[in-house]
Structure 1
């Protein structure tokens, strides 16, 4: 059985304090704080939407209405993914190209896209 660290014991992610202060992650990437905040806000709205769907199911709402809400969440997640991809291309890939380590960054992106995009 996999053990996880309780949320209260996990290290918080670094947060930007100023609107345009870059935020960092994993491999020394830096993201625009405003873009990061926009993504987090959208994910919070999606989280609330999913809670609403859960309530709909618990309350035996009409199935087509639940499916419509699920479709809305899928669309919202796709839009967030697009924002993340745009930010990655602008900030991370651009920086990797300037620093001369573009190959590793492109390989990581390809691997992520292989998992993200549907296979035919």
Structure 2
């Protein structure tokens, strides 16, 4: 992980409210809850001195699950926020914010 002083939990810089559909929000929160449980399971594996290869396999599974959640969020953002920004004449600002977020994500 980078030692840069970027906060991953900083408030959104969006100048407009961001809304997920009820169904999308529920799906994302459910996936994150499963990931949270999976991470707790990995912590238990480490505490129980399980073999490192088993732990690494589970960490890879969590990474994959997080990537799938990120993809859901990105897809929805492209479908909703970027489209709305284009309609409202704010596409340059929206794309700049998205690029900055992707720099952190891919970082």
Q: State the TM bucket, normalised to the shorter chain.
A: 0.7 to 0.9
Unaligned runs of 5+ in 2: 1-13
Alignment match of 2:29 (pick from 40, 56, 68): 40
Go from structure 1 to structure 2 and tell me whether the alpha carbon gap of 1:91 and 1:79 turns closer, same or farther (over 3 Å shift). Answer: same
**Structure with the higher helix share, 1 or 2:** 2
Instruction: State the alpha-carbon separation in 1 of the partners of residues 80 and 29 from structure 2.
Output: 17
How many equivalent pairs are there?
A: 94
Which structure has more relative contact order (CA 8 Å, sep 6+)? It is 2
Q: Displacement of 1:26 after TM fit?
A: 6.9
The answer for the alignment partner of 2:99 in structure 1 is 110
**Structure with the higher strand share, 1 or 2:** 1
The answer for the alignment partner of 1:10 in structure 2 is none
Alignment match of 1:64 (pick from 53, 64, 72): 53
Q: TM-score, normalised by structure 2?
A: 0.82
Q: TM-score, normalised by structure 1?
A: 0.74
Instruction: State the alpha-carbon separation in 2 of the partners of residues 94 and 60 from structure 1.
Output: 49
Runs of 4+ with >6 A deviation: none
Unaligned runs of 5+ in 1: 1-24
